[in-house]
Amino acid sequence: MKFATLAVHAGQRPDPHTGAVTVPVSFVSTFQMDAVGKLRGEFEYARSGNPSRHALEISLAALEGAKYALAFASGQAASTACLHLLEPGDEIVTLPNIYGGTFRLFHNVMNKYNITVKTAAEAEPESVKAVLSEKTAMVWTESPSNPLLTLFDIGMTAEYLKNFRNKKGTKPLLVTDNTFPSPAFQNPLSLGADIVTHSCTKYIGGHSDVIGGALAVSDEGVYQKLKFYQNAGGAVQSPMDCYLLQRGLRTLPLRMKKHEENAYAAAEFLRGHKNIEEVFFPGFADFPNHFLVKKQMSGLPGMVSFKIKGDIEAVKTFFSRLELIIMAESLGGVESLTCHPASTSHAALPPEERKKIGITDNLVRLSLGIEDADDLIADLKNALG
């Protein structure tokens, strides 16, 4: 089945008992046993497994082209589970431009467990290759990145890692955060990644009404370790949240096309405006590594970032003049949202680190929803004065 069909049907077949065409929400914490050590069905205790979560995980695995998927209470919970594959003394290699919450998790949490982080000089496979060491157990990537939409060659990095072995004799796991493109526009496992992570709060949910995260993987051994941690750590998705995410999946292909359409329209308008210093949008032919849009993606998310000419006061004026686009920290919803990365999504980074990677005080991130493009551009035109 093709993607749009999978989005509607994978994991979402009619209920065999009632014929309900929507997967019922299983508000249950425990399941009856027939005898000592004998389950009546496949579920025992809802932290370990729940019909609602099971259906969502089937859906997510199908859309990512994975054998398995695991749903978590948030994107950060999913990332935390992934990092628990590491052992004290291990090293993570990452890119210079990653989500602020991931940076905080790496540098403020995992360092307490003797996990070190090494950042490549540039978001290029060669730069990653240059910093690999005998301690490297994981390479963490993000493409397009948050918030500068940097494109990274996942496939080439996977090729580099194929023949690399650390002191344990194992290949470092290649992890890709696929939140921005969603499985509708990019499937990192098909490019050679080992694990895909998502903040399902964003495009997968799509309606700004649920928090969730997920991991997708095909390796049986890696899956079993992650499954163990999902149960032991306990940060699982609630049944109602699973229902909301699965409902969002059904319209994901349609929504992503409209998000992309609006992003192109907004980016073109912003690029030609006299009060804009710079626009970051992978759809431009002169955007760094633009070739990767065709090489590893089938479309672009509704994300555009830009720098306003002026200082923080000019940015504040811009936000205060918006009437349709909402100033809020998240992204990927049907409504258009905008935020100031330096004080929200990347506030966890030290000021000098933000400056080094280009997250300046005049940078604005824009998440284009599915409204009419003319209305969105009119709002931006008015706000920019």
Range of the domain at 324: 253-384
pLDDT in tens, 26-40: 999 999 999 998 999
Domain boundary at 215, 250, 285, which?
Answer: 250
* 203: alpha, beta or left? (left if phi > 0; alpha if psi -120 to 50): alpha
Residue 209, pLDDT above cutoff 90: yes
Residue 101's nearest CA partner among 213, 222, 256, 233 is 213
- What's the CA gap between 277 and 269, in Å, rounded? 13
Do 280 and 325 sit in the same domain of this protein? yes
Do 236 and 378 sit in the same domain of this protein? no
> What's the pLDDT band for 345 if we cut at 50, 70, 90?
confident
Q: Convert 264-291 to b/e letters by CB count within 10 Å (16 or more is b).
A: bbbbebbeebeebeebbbbbeeebbbee
pTM of this prediction? 0.96
Do 330 and 265 sit in the same domain of this protein? yes
pLDDT in tens, 152-198: 999 999 999 999 999 999 999 999 999 999 999 999 999 999 999 99
Residue 142, pLDDT above cutoff 90: yes
Contact 156, 129 (CB under 8 A): no
Pairing assessment for the beta strands 195-199 and 33-35 based on DSSP bridges: unpaired
Report the DSSP beta bridge partners of residue 94: 119, 140
Q: Which residues are catalytic?
A: 47, 99, 177, 202
Do 237 and 282 sit in the same domain of this protein? no
What CATH number does the domain containing 261 carry?
Answer: 3.90.1150.10
pLDDT in tens, 257-284: 999 999 999 999 999 999 999 999 999 9
Q: Determine what percent of the chain falls in helix, strand and coil, rounding each to the nearest 5.
A: 40, 15, 45
**Does a cis peptide bond (omega within 30 degrees of 0) precede residue 351?**
no
Q: How many domains does the chain have?
A: 2
